[in-house]
Amino acid sequence: MKKQLALISLALMGLGSTAVLADGAAVYNSGCMACHNSGVAGAPKVGDNDAWADRIAQGMDLLYEHAIVGFQGEAGYMPPKGGFAHLSDDDIKLAVDYMVEQSQ
């Protein structure tokens, strides 16, 4: 009973959100895969270690920044949040984490 009341209290305070996607794979599958599965617009394909190596070497903070605010590189274009403006910055970071984990 106490646990249920705590969950209800969190939800009422706005601290519990069912809109947040569960994990990086879910975020990736909800949209990122449209480009990162096939390499559209120069997007590095998930699992292509060579395509990701230099990007990963630059650090996660820069990867997050490019994914969130967008980036025009020599190889292609990354639109802000991949064109999915409704995703939170944290959702984007989860997707980046997932892609990096799959590409090392």
Q: What is the CATH number of the domain that holds 66?
A: 1.10.760.10
Question: Is residue 88 assigned to a domain?
Answer: yes
Domain of residue 97 covers 21-102
Phi, psi (deg, nearest 5) at residue 98: -60, -50
Number of domains in the chain: 1
Fill in the DSSP letter of residue 85: T
Question: Is residue 4 assigned to a domain?
Answer: no
**Mean pLDDT (10-residue bins), the chain, 104 residues:** 43 43 89 96 97 97 98 94 96 98 97
Question: Is residue 2 assigned to a domain?
Answer: no
How many C-beta atoms surround the C-beta of residue 63 within 10 A? 21
Q: Say what the pLDDT of residue 24 is.
A: 97
Question: Is residue 63 assigned to a domain?
Answer: yes
Q: What pTM does this model have?
A: 0.78
Q: Say what the pLDDT of residue 21 is.
A: 52
Token pair of 56 as six digits: 């990963």
Question: Is residue 1 assigned to a domain?
Answer: no
